[in-house]
């Protein structure tokens, strides 16, 4: 599909105000450094320029010149270490308002693998469009974007089976949903063949012709690809080497004595100059001085701030909230999307339930009918710890293997102003909760029945509650590990940090016999509260004598079992309360880790 054919498709996506009101993004004396003051590194050095709606701009330069850094700064998501001004139609906007009109498509865009193309765009429409836009209109917008991007054939395919070019186009479509005025793309052709690259840049060209301000970092474009761009911004060592029309670039170089050979790719020649390897330094300095003195491209012309009485994009009335939808609606949409993706992951979901059921039967028959046998109390106490250990590792490891893969999607969508951290946090906790409860309930019911544990409702509910709370703890603990550590590290960190907590459970060493220095650690171990709670539920609350198949059974009286474990004064409800506090604090840590991850 060629560029001219695409213009007709997306006309409904652009309203009349946006057609008439131009958008000019200008930046002045922009600098950006990283690190401490004494050891800071300057990545952008006093650069200026402007990008206009209706024109497609290419940011080019050698590797390490600062192309992606400039795009990251202009996207509005970097806040520290920046000096200078970023203006929209000669007006400086707040960070919140700026994010509402800017879309940023990074070089590597992660997608939820089990969601289809149409569903991905539909969820994006639900999150990015205001509630005033009806369901039918959202569906129409999604269909128009699919047609625009030429993805009709793969509209119902899940993202995991898409090709590289289709993934790139889908990521562009997600940004198109909200019809942003300013769009940044970081090397959108990376990893694509020449045909797919041309198609992607053609889409960017069409979006610019519709009145958007479109800027793209491009790495060594071919001559055909370069012809699609209107303007060029050449970067070298964090400074601007050239800014202006692409057709004027070579003549401007010639004015300072830098002559481009005939039939030479203009982009390759600009990168060669920016690398400063073969060009005389005095000519480079003369060219950069010329760019500093030339303000015609940097500043807006008079009269472009208003047009036809319509407010410019930088001056329009913005919504009061940063996000287009309410937090409750964000939570509902994200929960539905997460649940759908989990169910679609049939292998993991089926394996999760199968393991719970099979291991339930294995553990149940290993400890067959010992729950009321006074001669096998020690084995039954071990049974309690085995049950808790399986619940923790089965649920924590399931989450820690999938959660890191979703973190990149979360960061990208948050930067795109789709939803708040709080809405995402609660959706992740709630979406996986039913599966966790179902798995833990099946497992605990099977093992307790086969192993002969008390069948009265009161004790069964207490044991089941402790098992569910342990599953809840392990779920959040796995999320916390997945949000902090990468996927190649987190599967090791989770078991390594859980084992010390098991030592302070009171199973291997009685709590009263621990050295004083280790006593405080028992208060942060969820294994202590769940193990203690399960034992008290099974043997406390005036349980009658246990059966004895021998001549004498010392532990026939349940109180003797509690005394052996130093739990005769323990309270189930105190354990229950402390476990709730531990889980609550873990949720707080998870929320803080998400905020930290965004920084």
Give the whole-angstrom CA distance, residue 194 versus residue 196.
6
The alpha carbon of 595 is separated from its chain's Cα centroid by a whole number of angstroms, namely 11
| Residue 320 CB partners (closer than 8 Å, separation 6+) | none
Q: Let me know: does 62 contact 274? Beta carbons within 8 Å.
A: yes
Question: 17 by DSSP, 3-state: which?
Answer: helix
Q: What is the mean pLDDT of residues 306-332?
A: 59
354-367 confidence digits (pLDDT tens): 999 999 999 999 99
The pLDDT assigned to 278 comes to: 64
Asked whether residue 545 carries a pLDDT value surpassing 70, the answer given is yes
450-502 confidence digits (pLDDT tens): 999 988 899 899 999 999 999 999 999 999 988 888 878 888 888 888 888 88
The pLDDT assigned to 7 comes to: 38
The pLDDT assigned to 321 comes to: 65
The pLDDT assigned to 18 comes to: 44
DSSP secondary structure string for all residues of 60-84: E-STTSSHHHHHHHHTT---TTEEE
The pLDDT assigned to 199 comes to: 82
The pLDDT assigned to 311 comes to: 31
226-284 confidence digits (pLDDT tens): 889 999 999 988 888 899 899 989 888 888 888 888 878 888 888 888 887 666 777 77
Q: What is the mean pLDDT of residues 334-345?
A: 88
Dihedral angle over CA of 564, 569, 573, 574, nearest 10 = -100
How would you classify the pairing of strands 213-217 and 182-186?
parallel
Dihedral angle over CA of 138, 163, 58, 16, nearest 10 = -10
The listed range with the strongest mean pLDDT (3-7, 116-120, 238-242, 266-270) is 116-120
Give the whole-angstrom CA distance, residue 591 versus residue 148.
38
Q: Could you tell me the pLDDT band of residue 508, with boundaries at 50, 70 and 90?
A: confident
| Residue 9 CB partners (closer than 8 Å, separation 6+) | 144, 147, 148
Dihedral angle over CA of 96, 102, 107, 110, nearest 10 = 70
| Burial status of residue 350 (CB atoms within 10 A of its CB: 0-12, 13-18, 19 or more) | exposed
The alpha carbon of 71 is separated from its chain's Cα centroid by a whole number of angstroms, namely 20
pTM assigned to the model: 0.77
Q: Could you tell me the pLDDT band of residue 301, with boundaries at 50, 70 and 90?
A: very low
In the predicted model, what is the mean pLDDT of the chain? 83
Asked whether residue 117 carries a pLDDT value surpassing 90, the answer given is yes
Kindly give the residue spans of alpha helices, DSSP state H, lying in 177-233.
194-209, 223-226
Q: Could you tell me the pLDDT band of residue 333, with boundaries at 50, 70 and 90?
A: very high
Asked whether residue 313 carries a pLDDT value surpassing 70, the answer given is no
> Per this entry, what is the length of the chain?
599
175-202 confidence digits (pLDDT tens): 888 888 899 988 888 877 888 788 888 8
Q: Let me know: does 572 contact 537? Beta carbons within 8 Å.
A: yes
368-406 confidence digits (pLDDT tens): 988 888 888 889 999 999 999 999 998 888 888 777 778
């Amino acid at each position: 599909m060629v560029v001219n054919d695409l213009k007709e498709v997306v006309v409904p996506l652009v309203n009349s105000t946006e057609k008439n009101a131009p958008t000019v993004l200008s930046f002045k004396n922009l600098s950006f450094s990283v690190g401490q003051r004494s050891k800071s590194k300057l990545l952008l050095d006093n650069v200026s320029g402007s990008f206009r709606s209706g024109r497609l701009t290419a940011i080019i330069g050698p590797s390490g010149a600062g192309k992606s850094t400039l795009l990251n700064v202009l996207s509005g998501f970097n806040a520290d270490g920046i000096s200078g001004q970023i203006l929209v139609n000669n007006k400086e906007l707040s960070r919140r308002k700026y994010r509402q009109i800017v879309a940023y498509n990074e070089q590597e865009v992660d997608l939820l693998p089990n969601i289809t193309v149409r569903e991905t765009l539909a969820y994006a429409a639900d999150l990015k469009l205001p509630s005033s836009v009806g369901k039918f209109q959202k569906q129409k917008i999604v269909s128009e974007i699919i047609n625009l991007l030429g993805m009709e054939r793969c509209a119902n395919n899940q993202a995991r089976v898409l090709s590289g070019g289709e993934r790139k186009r889908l990521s562009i479509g997600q940004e198109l949903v909200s019809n942003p005025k300013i769009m940044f793309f970081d090397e959108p052709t990376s990893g694509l063949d020449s045909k797919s690259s041309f198609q992607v840049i053609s889409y960017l060209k069409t979006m610019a012709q519709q009145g958007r301000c479109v800027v793209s970092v491009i790495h060594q474009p071919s001559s055909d690809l370069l012809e699609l761009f209107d303007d060029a911004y050449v970067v070298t060592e964090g400074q601007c080497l050239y800014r202006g029309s692409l057709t004027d670039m070579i003549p401007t170089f010639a004015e300072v004595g830098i002559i481009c050979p005939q039939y030479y790719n203009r982009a390759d020649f600009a990168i060669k100059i920016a690398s400063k390897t073969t060009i005389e330094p005095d000519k480079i300095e003369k060219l950069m001085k010329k760019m500093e003195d030339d303000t015609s491209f940097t500043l807006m012309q008079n009269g472009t701030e208003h047009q036809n009485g319509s407010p410019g994009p930088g001056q329009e009335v913005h919504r009061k909230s940063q996000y287009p939808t309410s937090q409750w609606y964000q939570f509902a949409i994200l929960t539905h999307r997460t649940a759908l993706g989990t169910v679609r992951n049939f292998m993991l979901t089926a394996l999760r339930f199968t393991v719970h059921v099979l291991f339930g039967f294995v553990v149940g028959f290993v400890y067959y009918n010992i729950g009321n046998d006074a001669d096998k109390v020690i084995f039954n106490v071990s049974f309690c710890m085995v049950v808790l250990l399986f619940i923790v590792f089965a649920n924590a490891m399931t989450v820690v293997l999938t959660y890191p893969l979703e973190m990149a999607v979360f960061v990208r969508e948050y930067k795109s102003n789709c939803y708040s951290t709080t809405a995402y946090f609660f959706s992740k906790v709630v979406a996986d909760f039913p599966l966790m409860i179902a798995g833990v309930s099946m497992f605990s019911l099977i093992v307790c029945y086969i192993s002969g544990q008390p069948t009265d409702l009161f004790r069964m509910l207490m044991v089941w509650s402790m098992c569910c709370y342990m599953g809840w703890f392990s779920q959040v603990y796995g999320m916390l590990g997945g949000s902090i550590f990468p996927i190649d590290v987190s599967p090791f960190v989770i078991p390594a940090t859980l084992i010390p907590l098991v030592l302070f459970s009171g199973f291997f060493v009685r709590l009263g016999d621990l050295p004083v220095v280790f006593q405080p650690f028992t208060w942060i171990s969820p294994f202590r509260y769940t193990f203690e709670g399960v034992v008290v539920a099974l043997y406390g609350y005036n349980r009658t004598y246990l059966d004895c198949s021998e001549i004498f059974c010392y532990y026939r009286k349940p109180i003797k079992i509690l005394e052996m474990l130093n739990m005769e004064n323990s309270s189930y409800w105190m354990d229950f309360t402390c476990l709730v506090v531990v889980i609550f604090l873990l949720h707080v840590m998870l929320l803080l880790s998400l905020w930290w991850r965004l920084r």
